[in-house]
Amino acid sequence: MARDEGSAPTQHWDPARYRRNAGFVAELGMPVLDLLAPQPGERILDLGCGDGALTEKLAATGALVVGVDQSPEQIAAARARGLDARVADGAALAFRGEFDAVFSNAALHWMLDPDAVIAGVHRALKPGGRFVAEMGGAGNAKQVVAAAVAGLERRGIDGRAAIPWYFPTPEDYRGRLEARGFVPREIALIPRPTPIPGALADWLETFGDAFLTRLAPDDRHAYLEELEDRLRPALMQPDGKWSVDYVRLRFAAMKPAN
């Protein structure tokens, strides 16, 4: 039954499937874009830009935007929008003092070495620059994660070891920002139950390689059906649409001017 009990594999992104099942991610990114308040001519790094849907909105404000993402497929999709987008590891950013702001939406929870990410963001910013982001926070998708883990455990697989995300509390993330020299301006946990466009199985197939690849291909369909059966009472809305119990961690932090 188990295919791989080792460390979580890298998520593979299929831009077409992402657009179909995750288009809402960029659409729901407007509040954090508002918090960023980009100004024309500012140089802004979009960390974990994905297929560039929100990067494009950022660039439309007149900011000069560079997008980075670890997925070559997503970067190809972002470049196809005419964006300056580059493949890079968020935990090893190579920029030095060149951005007025670093922005990130729905990406930091995939980066499992937050201190290395924060250090790279700090290096990338000019003195006086800002780091403005939204990510999954403590309790994010809690019911889905619990069901995905339990489904693996019923099959004799270490489900907790499969979790590929880091969903911090505000206290945790604030401490890490301060330890690197940032001055947090605001940081808050925001529950945001989110209707998704397709079935819950599509959501997990889009985002949950770490769980599914623990199973042999022939076992995945039954695992997904079981997951939906168990979560239907809690997460299916009266109109028949699925809603995921998202919780956002949104923050803005400054790099001191000197």
Which residues of the chain form contacts with ligand BEZ (CB under 6 A)? 106, 109, 136, 140-141, 165, 207, 246
Instruction: Read off the tokens for 6.
Output: 């080792």
Buried b (16+ CB within 10 A) or exposed e, 3-38: eeeeebeebebebeebeebbeebbebbeebbebbeb
Q: CB-wise, 44 or 106, nearer to ligand BEZ?
A: 106
CB of 39 to ligand BEZ, least distance (A): 27
> For tokens 């407007």, what's the residue?
30
Residues 144, 155: Cα–Cα separation, whole Å: 17
**Which tokens is 42 given?**
């500012």
Compute the least distance from the CB of residue 110 to ligand BEZ, in Å.
Answer: 8
**Cβ at position 111, least distance to ligand BEZ in Å:** 12
Smaller CB separation from ligand BEZ, 99 or 166 = 166
How many angstroms separate the CA atoms of 3 and 16, rounded? 26
Minimal distance in Å, beta carbon 164 to ligand BEZ? 8
Q: Which residue is nearest to ligand BEZ (CB)?
A: 136
Q: Which is nearer to ligand BEZ, 99 or 223 (CB)?
A: 223
d(CA 81, CA 138): 33
Smaller CB separation from ligand BEZ, 109 or 250:
109
Shortest spacing between CB 158 and ligand BEZ, in angstroms: 19
**What is the SS3 assignment for 83?**
coil
Instruction: Give least dist CB 167 to ligand BEZ, A.
Output: 8
Burial degree of 73 (CB within 10 A; 0-12, 13-18, 19+): middle
DSSP 245: E
**Residue from 81, 136, 105, 108 nearest 27 by CA:** 105
Single-letter amino acid code for the residue at 30: M
Nearer to ligand BEZ, 24 or 95 (CB): 24
CB-nearer residue toward ligand BEZ: 103 or 246: 246
**Cβ 13 to ligand BEZ, closest distance in Å?**
11
Q: What is the DSSP string of 130-157?
A: EEEEEEE-TTTTHHHHHHHHHHHHHTT-
Residue with Cβ nearer ligand BEZ (104 or 140): 140
